[in-house]
């Protein structure tokens, strides 16, 4: 800012570099985030992105309870795709335990992960379109999201805070009528998504706001550690589901949509195409769903049946030890990554052999994407921050933890 002693010419609003603060509570940005902007007219000269408004000490809190008690916290990291966070955390712990869950459990984990990817992309695209004035799309995609939330409710009992996975399995099997419910929900979802496609993909206003905006080159994107749709929009084919398949992702036939220019429009198209691929995976998994248990049979890891807990002293002791002391994870450290809706979601866990985590580190995909946002909006117009920020799809809980 100009000092008071400066010449009057420096106070001319057309000459002066203006500093404004956008956020942390701004009607056109979903999520609490602050942009400290330097503007020359409407052109962004510099943008300092400030995060941390939703910091809830996830990593510190996980060190206070048992391994199982950390699972509910993971739901609340990315509340647009809670299942994926559940799956990622338990897979990391299972890798350290050296166990593999039964095939049915692996398939069910794939199904819930892909349902979460759908809700995440629907949230992202619906909100981004609403912020650009296409409110109808926001409503349509919210309706589509509700259909998936209903499925999540039928599966886990909760719509957002699902806490569905357990170390060594799942909290429960799917309800028997899930196949019909998914078929009905997907039929409706496909109709809604097709409507959104007609409303947005070739809409002149929308395309003009998205194409060529927020461009990031492939080399820059890799250097900034971007993953997921952000990286794939630059034409880099990296999807953890294909590169390092986990939880039987290699059993399914699906495509990874790629962009070419690395702008907002490509990110939009990548996410849009991924929704259809997610539905394909869910349909294949439901069609070929293996029978069998959904938990490993190991009393050191999985809670005993309720009949054993109430009917035998061994069962009661087993239950008590697991609840009070936690699962004894062997000492060591692992990093396990899954493909979150926003990119590579990794958990780095350290165990000291007691029943509590020594350290749980989550590698949040959108934290790194937010690190690149400042460079992506620099040189653009003030109003273009909104679509670029929308396509980064920051989820406050995951970014700030």
Partner 1 sequence: MSRASLLPRLQELFGDKLLSAHDQCGDDTIVVGRDHMIEVLRQLRERPEFAFDLLADETAADYLGVSPRFELVCHLYSLSHNRRLRVKVPVPEDDPVVPSLVPLWKSANWLEREVWDMFGIRFSGHPDLRRILLYEQFVGHPLRKDYPVNQRQPLVPERDPVNQDWKV
Q: Which helix (H) or strand (E) holds 317?
A: helix 313-325
- Among residues 215 and 279, whose Cβ is nearest to partner 1? 215
- Would you say 168 and 300 are in contact if contact means Cβ atoms under 8 Å apart? no
- Among residues 72 and 371, whose Cβ is nearest to partner 1? 371
Residue 191: C-alpha distances to residues 101, 143, 183, 184, 278 (Å):
36, 11, 13, 11, 15
Residue 220: both structure tokens together:
């820059």
Residue 55 beta carbon to partner 1: minimum distance, rounded to whole angstroms: 4
Size (the chain), residues: 401
Distance of CA 343 to the CA centre of its chain: 7
- Count Cβ atoms below 10 Å from residue 235 Cβ, excluding itself: 14
- Among residues 64 and 183, whose Cβ is nearest to partner 1? 64
Phi/psi zone of residue 151: left (φ > 0), alpha (ψ -120 to 50 degrees), beta? alpha
What string of DSSP letters covers 124-142? HHHHHHHHTT-HHHHHHHH
Residue 94 beta carbon to partner 1: minimum distance, rounded to whole angstroms: 10
Residue 239 beta carbon to partner 1: minimum distance, rounded to whole angstroms: 11
- Count Cβ atoms below 10 Å from residue 352 Cβ, excluding itself: 12
DSSP 291: P
Query: Which residue, among 256, 230, 235, has the nearest Cα to 389 in the 3D structure?
Result: 230
Residue 244 beta carbon to partner 1: minimum distance, rounded to whole angstroms: 6
DSSP 354: S
Backbone torsions φ then ψ of 334, nearest 5 degrees? -140, 155
Residue 119 beta carbon to partner 1: minimum distance, rounded to whole angstroms: 25
User: d(Cα 48, Cα 54) in Å, to the nearest integer?
Assistant: 18
Residue 347: C-alpha distances to residues 119, 324, 361, 364 (Å):
22, 24, 6, 9
Q: Which residues bind partner 1 (CB under 8 A)?
A: 51-52, 55, 57, 59-61, 63-64, 95-96, 98, 220, 222-225, 227, 236, 238, 243-244, 332-335, 337, 344, 346, 348, 350, 358-359, 361, 363, 367-368, 370-372, 400-401
What is the chain's alpha carbon radius of gyration, rounded to the nearest angstrom? 23
What dihedral do alpha carbons 11, 13, 14, 18 form, nearest 10°? 100
Q: Which long-range contacts (CB under 8 A, 24 or more apart) does 331-335 make?
A: 332/96, 333/96, 334/92, 334/95, 334/96, 335/92, 335/363
Residue 30 beta carbon to partner 1: minimum distance, rounded to whole angstroms: 19
Residue 191 beta carbon to partner 1: minimum distance, rounded to whole angstroms: 37
Residue 17 beta carbon to partner 1: minimum distance, rounded to whole angstroms: 19
- Among residues 139 and 358, whose Cβ is nearest to partner 1? 358
Residue 382: both structure tokens together:
């003030």
User: d(Cα 166, Cα 179) in Å, to the nearest integer?
Assistant: 23
Residue 361 beta carbon to partner 1: minimum distance, rounded to whole angstroms: 5
Residue 400 beta carbon to partner 1: minimum distance, rounded to whole angstroms: 6
């Amino acid at each position: 800012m100009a000092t008071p002693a400066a010449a009057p010419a420096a106070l001319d609003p057309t000459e002066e570099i203006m500093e404004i603060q956008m956020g942390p509570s701004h009607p056109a940005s979903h999520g609490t985030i602050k942009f400290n902007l330097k503007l020359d007219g409407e052109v962004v000269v510099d943008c300092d992105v400030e995060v941390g408004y939703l910091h809830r000490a996830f990593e510190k809190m996980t060190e206070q309870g048992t391994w199982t008690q950390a699972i509910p916290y993971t739901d609340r990291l990315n509340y647009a795709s809670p299942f994926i966070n559940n799956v990622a955390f338990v897979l990391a712990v299972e890798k350290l335990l050296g166990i593999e869950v039964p095939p049915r459990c692996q398939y069910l984990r794939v199904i819930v992960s892909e349902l979460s990817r759908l809700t995440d992309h629907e949230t992202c695209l619906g909100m981004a379109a609403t912020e650009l004035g296409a409110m109808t799309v926001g409503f349509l995609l919210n309706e589509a999201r509700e259909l998936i939330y209903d499925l999540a409710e039928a599966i886990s009992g909760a719509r957002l805070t699902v806490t569905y996975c357990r170390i060594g399995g799942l909290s429960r099997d799917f309800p028997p009528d899930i196949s019909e419910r998914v078929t009905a929900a997907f039929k409706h979802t496909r109709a809604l998504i097709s409507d959104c496609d007609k409303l947005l993909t070739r809409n002149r206003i929308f395309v003009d706001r998205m194409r060529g905006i927020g461009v990031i080159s492939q080399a820059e994107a890799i250097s900034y550690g971007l993953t997921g749709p952000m990286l794939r929009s630059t034409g880099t084919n990296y999807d953890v589901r294909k590169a390092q398949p986990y939880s039987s992702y290699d059993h399914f036939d699906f495509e990874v949509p790629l962009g070419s220019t690395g702008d907002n429009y490509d990110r939009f198209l990548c996410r849009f195409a991924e929704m259809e691929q997610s539905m394909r995976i869910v349909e294949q998994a439901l069609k070929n769903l293996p029978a069998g248990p959904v938990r490993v049979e190991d009393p050191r890891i999985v809670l005993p049946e309720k009949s054993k807990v109430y009917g035998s002293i061994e069962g009661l002791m087993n239950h008590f030890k697991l609840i009070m002391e936690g699962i004894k994870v062997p000492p060591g450290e692992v990093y396990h990554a899954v493909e979150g809706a926003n990119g590579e979601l990794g958990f780095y866990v350290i165990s000291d052999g007691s029943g509590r985590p020594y350290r749980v580190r989550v590698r949040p995909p959108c934290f790194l994407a937010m690190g690149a946002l400042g460079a992506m909006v620099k040189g653009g117009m003030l109003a273009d921050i909104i679509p670029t920020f929308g396509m980064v799809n920051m989820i406050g809980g995951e970014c700030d933890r």
